[in-house]
Structures are given as C-alpha cells and as structure tokens.
Structure 1
Amino acid sequence: LEVCVDSVASALTAAESGATRLELCAGLAVGGLTPSLGTFLAVRQRVTVPIMVLVRPRAGDFCYSTEEVEAMATDIALFRQNGAHGFVIGALTREGDVDVATCQHLLAAAGPQADTTFHRAFDVVRNPEASLERVIELGFRRLLTSGQAASVEGGLDLLCRLAAQAKGRIQLMPGGGVSESNLAHLLHATGVRAVHASASEPTPTAMSALSFGEHRVCSAARVRALSLIIRSQGQL
C-alpha cells in the first residue's frame, strides 16, 4: 500500500496507519510536484518506510525543456544524496509517446540501485500497450496508472489488459480514485500486488477569515481500512 502525501503530517499519519511505502510530493491538488528537500528530510527523520520522491517541476503536461530536465536531474541527485529510496518520474514527447532519452537521463541520475516508478504521465500516452513496452525496456520497476481514466474504476479494463501484457516484467500499480469501496474488486480483477492511494480528507483551515483553497490531509482511518482490505485479500 503506497500512500501519496504532500506534508510531514500526512506522511507520519500514513506511515503509522499501515502504509508500506510513501510517495512524497508537494501540491497534490495539481497532481503532485517535486517536494522541498526540507520536507523530505523532515519526513525521512521520522518514518522507517521507504520514501519514493516525485520529481515533477511544474503542473501541466509532461513534455519538458532541456532546462527543466537538467533541474529534475539535479533534484534527483540531491534527494539521492540525502537518502531517498527511489523516484517517481516520467516524461513524454510532443506526440504523446514515452520520451526515452529524457527518461534515460533521469534514470541515470537516480542510479542503478534506486527504486523507480513511471508515473501517471502514462495515462495520457497515445498508445498504452506500446508505451508499456518502452517503460519496461527502460528498466522502470513499477508503473503507476489509472488505466487512462479519471479513476481506476473507469480504467479497469485497460488495467487488466496491461497486467496481462506485463506478465510480471514490471509491477503494475493502479492509482487514481482507489478507495475502500473499490479496492477489493480492483485487486481481484487485476491480480496486482500494489496499489497507490492518497486516502485523504479535507481539513478545516486554522485561519479565521481568509482561505486559499481546500487543504487535504491523510486520514488514518482510511489508510487502516485500505490496509485491512489488502491483508484480507492476501496481498500484503
């Protein structure tokens, strides 16, 4: 059970409630961005579960400039030097294919020992079957995807096809709308061994007058519920 978190508080809650791995990012409201090194260090000092760091320099598409790619590689090197377990990365060409050259550069920055996940950029590739082969050939250990839908429920058919195509060559990790109500069916239908969820809930603002939007935090109860479902299915 990988839980994505964008704050120290959420990371602690997830780790204490049954998450077996964290994806640490910033800005989950925009799909996740690269977290600060300070946030990573604060989390690393307080949890024992593996921390996967999302490296995404901005919101929007996944077609990056040379300067952005170099910044991403620098971020990866800094996090690696400070003890990151692995990285969640991805890049696409203008045509919507996996950007092999950029991914190779980022994987080289991560190093051969790092755990690596190709993120939900996969959900906007133009040919998911061909793109799965590229991701496997690049050497990623894991693929995070909703099945090219708004949630895993809508993408279930593709998730099943991808799981069959992968044949154990890469870990397929469904993510996007994973909840207590759909997790058991998702596990049964796909046979996957890992899932990704935010397990979050809105939290009231401490400010009395001014609001800059909703702030969500990890819910201990939701993480425990998801963990229990996985255990009951014999997947954890």
Structure 2
Amino acid sequence: MFPIRIEVVAETPMDVRAAQTSGATQVLIVRQLPEGSSSSDTKTIEACLEQATIPVSVLVKPDAGDYCYEEARRTRTLKILEVYWKRGIRNITFGAEHDGVFDWDLLEEAIHCGFTVNVNQAFDLLRNPQAAYMKLVQYPKVLQINTSGAPWATADGDYTLEQLLRSASPQLPIFLDTAGHSEDRVLGLLKTGLHGVQLGKTIRDGQGKINYGLLDRWVGLCQSLNKRPRSF
C-alpha cells in the first residue's frame, strides 16, 4: 500500500499554512494560477519557505503561456533556474515540449544544475505519453509527473490515464490535477493506481482565493482512502 499524496498549489505564505493545516503532504508554489501559472518571485518564495514544514516545489515557467519554449523563453527559463539555485531552491516543477516531443535537453539542463524535478502538465501535450513515461522513470532526479487526466490523441486513437496507470511505477508517481474532474472519477482513479492529486483551481473561488471548506473536503476524501489497501 502506498499512501496517497496531496499537493496543494500555493501562491502566498497563507496558502502554505492552509495546506499544512488541512493535512496536505506537499506544496507547489506558483503565481498567476487562474491565468495558467508562472514562476513566482523570490521574495514570495522565501516567505513561503519560511512557513513550510512539508516538502515544497517551485514552478519554473517564464510566463503564463504554453509549454513550447522557443529561444527567448528558453533563455528566460535558464535564468530562472540560475536565480532559484542561488536562492537555495532545490526542487522544481518544470516541463517543456515541442511538437508533441518532450524537451529532454532542457530537462537535462535542470538536472545538471542539481535540481530534482516534478514534471508539469507539459506532459499532457506529448504524442506518446507511455514512451515518455518509461524514459522519465530512468531519471532518478525526476520525482513525479502531473497530468490533467485528459486523453492523449495518438496515431492509434485516444490513450487514457487509466492505460498509463497500468504501466506506472511507484518509482515515478503520477499526480492528477483535480480541476474539472468529479469526486467519483478522482476516487476511482485513486483506488486503481493513481499515486496522488494536485489541488489547484479545484479548491479556489471565483477570485482565485483558497476556499478552506473545499480544501478540507478534498484532503479528507483522499486521506480516507489511505486507510484502505490499494492495488498498483
């Protein structure tokens, strides 16, 4: 049995405190979550880290745009890596792709810098998610993959998260962003092999603020399954 992990997306130190109080197991620090998320400023990150008693990852994304990094955005991304490393940040959430292929060179740049990496939803844009997953498993410094759970359109037809979970390993956990998914679907996936959830927009109100009732509800649902045996 592997306990379900619960990652809360935080934008402020107050969000970090709320995540910890709720029972979340880890935090992802971003800014501009409603617009698509981007890297936070170092002052905010340091304030969040001062509050954190659970593992923290920091998003590396130059703006709230997509995950295809042409030269200018690539340069900005590398600069963010440099700044974060100098500020003592060691775990990042990051991902990039081009024409449905994962940007392995940029991933290796991040690993070469010394970071451990949680792969973000750039993974959702890949043409062959299973092949990419099996390759990512070979990187000891890649710690988890985040996905929106939408089917991948492949040459052989749609490839689903359920199919990916059949070949998933606890060595590289798969997290589902719960936004847009019903509780029943999330619970079903958790019972059959999903390793964790990411709570971002799901637990926020129309103004982008955390709704503490929703946060506690989702954390409670996930924690209730930790008392039951699950198959992987």
Quickly name the TM-score band, shorter chain normalised. Answer: 0.7 to 0.9
**Segment of structure 1 superposing worse, 37-46 or 179-188:** 179-188
The partner residue of 2:82 within 65, 73, 77 is 77
Residue deviations 1:111-158 (CA, integer Å, cap 9, x gap): 1xx4321110111112212222232234422110123359xxxxxx72
The residue number in structure 2 matching 1:137 is 138
Give the number of aligned pairs: 214
Q: Contact 2:101 / 2:126 at 8 angstroms: preserved in 1?
A: yes
How far residue 196 of structure 1 moved from its aligned partner, in angstroms, is 0.8
How far residue 85 of structure 1 moved from its aligned partner, in angstroms, is 4.8
Residue deviations 1:6-36 (CA, integer Å, cap 9, x gap): 2333222222222211111011112211011
The residue number in structure 2 matching 1:164 is 166
Indicate whether 1:183 and 2:175 are aligned.
Answer: no
Separation in structure 2 between the aligned mates of residue 169 and residue 83 of structure 1, nearest angstrom: 25
How far residue 168 of structure 1 moved from its aligned partner, in angstroms, is 3.0
SS at match of 2:58: strand
The partner residue of 1:224 within 195, 213, 216 is 216
Q: Alpha carbons of 1:102 and 1:85: their partners in 2 closer, same or farther (altered >3 Å)?
A: closer
SS at match of 2:102: coil
How far residue 184 of structure 1 moved from its aligned partner, in angstroms, is 2.2
SS at match of 2:100: coil
Q: Alpha carbons of 1:217 and 1:182: their partners in 2 closer, same or farther (altered >3 Å)?
A: farther
Separation in structure 2 between the aligned mates of residue 46 and residue 25 of structure 1, nearest angstrom: 15
Structure 1 residues without counterparts, runs of 5 or longer: 151-156, 203-213
Separation in structure 2 between the aligned mates of residue 32 and residue 217 of structure 1, nearest angstrom: 14
Residue deviations 1:156-192 (CA, integer Å, cap 9, x gap): x722221222233411111142564543222113x22
Q: Alpha carbons of 1:14 and 1:149: their partners in 2 closer, same or farther (altered >3 Å)?
A: farther
Separation in structure 2 between the aligned mates of residue 28 and residue 179 of structure 1, nearest angstrom: 20
Separation in structure 2 between the aligned mates of residue 21 and residue 148 of structure 1, nearest angstrom: 23
The partner residue of 2:63 within 58, 61, 70 is 58
Separation in structure 2 between the aligned mates of residue 31 and residue 61 of structure 1, nearest angstrom: 8
Q: Contact 1:19 / 1:223 at 8 angstroms: preserved in 2?
A: no
**Segment of structure 1 superposing worse, 215-224 or 20-29:** 215-224
- Computed over aligned residues only, the root mean square deviation of the Cα atoms, in angstroms, reads 2.4
How far residue 230 of structure 1 moved from its aligned partner, in angstroms, is 1.9
Indicate whether 1:5 and 2:10 are aligned.
Answer: yes
Q: Alpha carbons of 1:16 and 1:38: their partners in 2 closer, same or farther (altered >3 Å)?
A: same
Q: Alpha carbons of 1:108 and 1:69: their partners in 2 closer, same or farther (altered >3 Å)?
A: farther
Could you tell me the TM-score, scaled by structure 2's length? 0.81
The partner residue of 1:34 within 39, 48, 55 is 39
**Residue type of the alignment partner of 1:41:** E
Counting only pairs closer than 5 Å after superposition, residues 83-122 of structure 1 correspond to structure 2 as: 83-93=88-98, 95-109=99-113, 111=114, 114-122=115-123
Q: Alpha carbons of 1:235 and 1:164: their partners in 2 closer, same or farther (altered >3 Å)?
A: farther
Separation in structure 1 between the aligned mates of residue 220 and residue 182 of structure 2, nearest angstrom: 12
Separation in structure 1 between the aligned mates of residue 167 and residue 185 of structure 2, nearest angstrom: 23
Q: Contact 1:54 / 1:88 at 8 angstroms: preserved in 2?
A: yes
Could you tell me the TM-score, scaled by structure 1's length? 0.80
Q: Contact 1:87 / 1:115 at 8 angstroms: preserved in 2?
A: yes
Q: Contact 2:204 / 2:210 at 8 angstroms: preserved in 1?
A: yes
**Segment of structure 1 superposing worse, 136-145 or 42-51:** 136-145
The partner residue of 1:16 within 9, 12, 21 is 21
